Structure 1
Amino acid sequence: MDRLQAMRLYARIVETGSFTAAADDLNLPRATVTHAIRRLEERLGAQLLQRTTRRVRVTREGEAYYAHCVRLLADVDEVETSLREGVIQPRGRLRVELTSTLARLLVIPALPEFFARFPQVELDLGTTDRRVDLVREGVDCALRVGEPGDAGMVGRRIAALPQVTIASADYVRRHGRPRNLAELQDGHQAVNWASPTTRRCEPLEFMVGRRRREVTLPGRVTVNGAEAYLACCCAGMGIAQFPRYRMAQELADGRMVELLPQTPPPTLPLTVLYPPRRQMPARLRVFIDWLVERAASQFGSLR
């Protein structure tokens, strides 16, 4: 059995949860299936499956290998179908990671248009603040706000997101509205943001002309998650900074108040990351191009 056949067999075992079911699906003897998986594990030097008399459990290494198998097999199927039809038709499943806010406000509202344009592409959307390992977890691409910092990944910057300094209306009633950075540092508090990786508290940042200035304010609460950061700000616990698109509704209805618009925070890069590959699948290429279009319509084109 060649490697491609072994990968298809392994994927069917994972998907059916059974050696017998996979053997039946592929019309193979059970002994052939068992032998092929044993040879596959020996070649990889890793245990992919844990077998008991009742069920098959996928190991952590097996989960990572399965994700790679699905992606590679989809690439093969796409190329073969395209050659038969004489044209490259984007098809297959993409696994995409992004924050829940970007999913809700940027990507999902326009998905019907994407699917109408590319009816044979399927998306598996993951929404998390955690920085996933694209290669180990079998992710095709990720949409990141801020400096991506992923060594070895290919990055395509698609937008520069304006930011805003805000506080709740209740906070402003209690503490006043600072008119400049000097007043900001005189008695005001922040909801402090700690990096999830370094645990270091990040200062507030402001652009004074073309110069970036950092301001560290005292704060009674420190968080390392986006939802907690927003919730604390809404509860009046201090000043925070967000991408403007995230707070547009809250600013419009008066729940939040913009502070110091004359010295705004620096813009945040929005980047699509994907693992380096000799040949980018058509489904990934068209999805990234669509994201560029979508970002330009929402945030303006990069200059």
Structure 2
Amino acid sequence: MDQLTAMRVFARVVEAGTFTRAADTLKMPKPSVTKLVQGLEAHLQVKLLQRTTRRVTVTPEGAAYYARTSRLLADLEDIEADVSSARTRPRGRLRVDAGSSVSNFLLIPALPSFREKFPDIQLELGVGDRSVDLVGDGVDCVIRGGVLPDPALVGRRIGELEFVSCATPGYLKRRGTPAQPTDLQDGHDIVSYFSTRTGRVIPLSFLQGEERLEVLGRASVAVNESTAHLTAVLAGLGVTQLPEFVARPHLASGALVRLLPEWRCEPFPVFIVYPQNRHMNAKLRAFVDWAVELFAPFRARGEVRQAASGR
């Protein structure tokens, strides 16, 4: 038995919660994962996991073994990185998850520069606005906006997104141009965005000096994915608020019209987040540093804090 591989597979099963998810993230056949864990248990002569048809639970002996071996595996990765060229040339698979608009309009267009700088990192980018289980899904880090009070997640504030109120010229011709945020409460259709995590519709927010207003209005349609949100607005379905970097080309072309420019929208903090106990290896550190540089134009006040999940 390859004990080191078995230890790594066992750790992934603990983190994923099932043999199937562990096999998927390791890109190994499930029978191979099962055989390695069984071999490790036979070698140690102790039960590490309790299996059910739906989920795997860790025995007390398994929890103690995982706590010590996960530190050992992290130290081993550091040793290998020091001996090899990984410190200066990070390599290996890196799984990142990011919201749809950030991925499509910021990350992916900039990826050629990342690939040029780190050609040996195989980046797997999960795209979508739905929250992911970083540990269970084997994700190294996520880029998300908003705040999630989860002590298991820590990260770095890398920017702050500005939003703009807008609608199509065709919609405004039909329904008129609002003069005040309160005009949107009645008499206008809103293209709403609702959280994939809570199901809560996010109201439109308006700031002017010390005054702050929130408007829900009447939703013509509500979506939970930011690219679909843009598409719905461009279809003339109503008024909404979009990230400025998403709306910018459509405002420049005249496809969208900016509304209520004297009222600012609530800024949206963006974080790069990873599990509290996730080892900051060379490839993860390389991506975090690159993302911080990418989001420099959106920087407010960079802080290390608990965070994330949202658009």
> TM-score, structure 1 length as denominator?
0.77
Whether the 8 Å contact between 1:167 and 1:240 is mirrored in structure 2 is: yes
Cα distance in 2 for residues equivalent to 1:74 and 1:102: 33
1:26 counterpart residue number: none
Query: Aligned-pair RMSD on alpha carbons?
Result: 3.5
Whether the 8 Å contact between 2:186 and 2:218 is mirrored in structure 1 is: no
Tell me the secondary structure at the aligned position of residue 131 of structure 2: coil
Question: 1:276 is matched by which residue type in structure 2?
Answer: Q
2:132 counterpart residue number: 132
Whether the 8 Å contact between 1:97 and 1:143 is mirrored in structure 2 is: yes
Residues 16, 153 of structure 1: alpha-carbon distance in 2 compared, 3 angstrom cutoff: closer
Cα distance in 2 for residues equivalent to 1:143 and 1:6: 31
**What is the CA-CA distance between 1:165 and the residue it aligns to?**
0.6
1:213 counterpart residue number: 213
Cα distance in 1 for residues equivalent to 2:275 and 2:37: 32
1:36 counterpart residue number: 39
**What is the CA-CA distance between 1:172 and the residue it aligns to?**
0.7
**What is the CA-CA distance between 1:16 and the residue it aligns to?**
5.0
Cα distance in 1 for residues equivalent to 2:86 and 2:142: 28
Q: Which has the higher contact order (CA 8 A, sep 6+)?
A: 2
Whether the 8 Å contact between 1:148 and 1:271 is mirrored in structure 2 is: no
**What is the CA-CA distance between 1:112 and the residue it aligns to?**
2.3
Correspondence list, 1:120-269, <5 A: 120-185=120-185, 187-269=187-269
Q: Deviations over 1:189-208 (max 9, x none)?
A: 21233333333333211002
Whether the 8 Å contact between 2:206 and 2:213 is mirrored in structure 1 is: yes
**What is the CA-CA distance between 1:239 and the residue it aligns to?**
0.9
Whether the 8 Å contact between 1:296 and 1:302 is mirrored in structure 2 is: no
1:53 counterpart residue number: none
More divergent stretch after superposition (191-200 vs 71-80): 71-80
**What is the CA-CA distance between 1:276 and the residue it aligns to?**
1.3
More divergent stretch after superposition (10-19 vs 178-187): 10-19
Whether the 8 Å contact between 2:131 and 2:197 is mirrored in structure 1 is: no
Residues 225, 33 of structure 1: alpha-carbon distance in 2 compared, 3 angstrom cutoff: closer
**What is the CA-CA distance between 1:136 and the residue it aligns to?**
1.3
Cα distance in 2 for residues equivalent to 1:101 and 1:7: 38
Query: 1:290 aligned to 2:290?
Result: yes
Whether the 8 Å contact between 1:134 and 1:274 is mirrored in structure 2 is: yes
Cα distance in 1 for residues equivalent to 2:258 and 2:162: 13
Greater C-alpha Rg: 1
Question: 1:144 is matched by which residue type in structure 2?
Answer: R
Residues 253, 94 of structure 1: alpha-carbon distance in 2 compared, 3 angstrom cutoff: same
Cα distance in 1 for residues equivalent to 2:160 and 2:221: 29
Whether the 8 Å contact between 1:8 and 1:73 is mirrored in structure 2 is: no
Cα distance in 2 for residues equivalent to 1:191 and 1:166: 10
1:82 counterpart residue number: 81
Tell me the secondary structure at the aligned position of residue 139 of structure 1: coil
Question: 2:178 is matched by which residue type in structure 1?
Answer: P
Q: Which runs of 5+ in 1 are unaligned?
A: 24-31, 51-58, 63-67
Residues 106, 84 of structure 1: alpha-carbon distance in 2 compared, 3 angstrom cutoff: same
Q: How many residues align?
A: 275
Whether the 8 Å contact between 2:131 and 2:196 is mirrored in structure 1 is: no
Query: 1:93 aligned to 2:105?
Result: no
Tell me the secondary structure at the aligned position of residue 125 of structure 2: strand
Residues 234, 150 of structure 1: alpha-carbon distance in 2 compared, 3 angstrom cutoff: farther
Cα distance in 2 for residues equivalent to 1:187 and 1:278: 50
Residues 235, 73 of structure 1: alpha-carbon distance in 2 compared, 3 angstrom cutoff: farther
**What is the CA-CA distance between 1:43 and the residue it aligns to?**
1.0
Residues 138, 61 of structure 1: alpha-carbon distance in 2 compared, 3 angstrom cutoff: farther
Question: 2:166 is matched by which residue type in structure 1?
Answer: I
Residues 17, 208 of structure 1: alpha-carbon distance in 2 compared, 3 angstrom cutoff: same
Tell me the secondary structure at the aligned position of residue 97 of structure 2: strand
Cα distance in 2 for residues equivalent to 1:296 and 1:221: 34
Residues 133, 86 of structure 1: alpha-carbon distance in 2 compared, 3 angstrom cutoff: closer
Whether the 8 Å contact between 1:204 and 1:241 is mirrored in structure 2 is: yes
Residues 257, 138 of structure 1: alpha-carbon distance in 2 compared, 3 angstrom cutoff: same
Cα distance in 1 for residues equivalent to 2:9 and 2:255: 55
> TM-score, structure 2 length as denominator?
0.75
Question: 1:17 is matched by which residue type in structure 2?
Answer: P
Whether the 8 Å contact between 2:164 and 2:241 is mirrored in structure 1 is: yes
Q: Which runs of 5+ in 2 are unaligned?
A: 13-21, 58-65, 303-311
Q: Deviations over 1:139-169 (max 9, x none)?
A: 1100002224444200211001110011111
Between the aligned residues of both structures, percent identity stands at: 38
**What is the CA-CA distance between 1:79 and the residue it aligns to?**
2.2
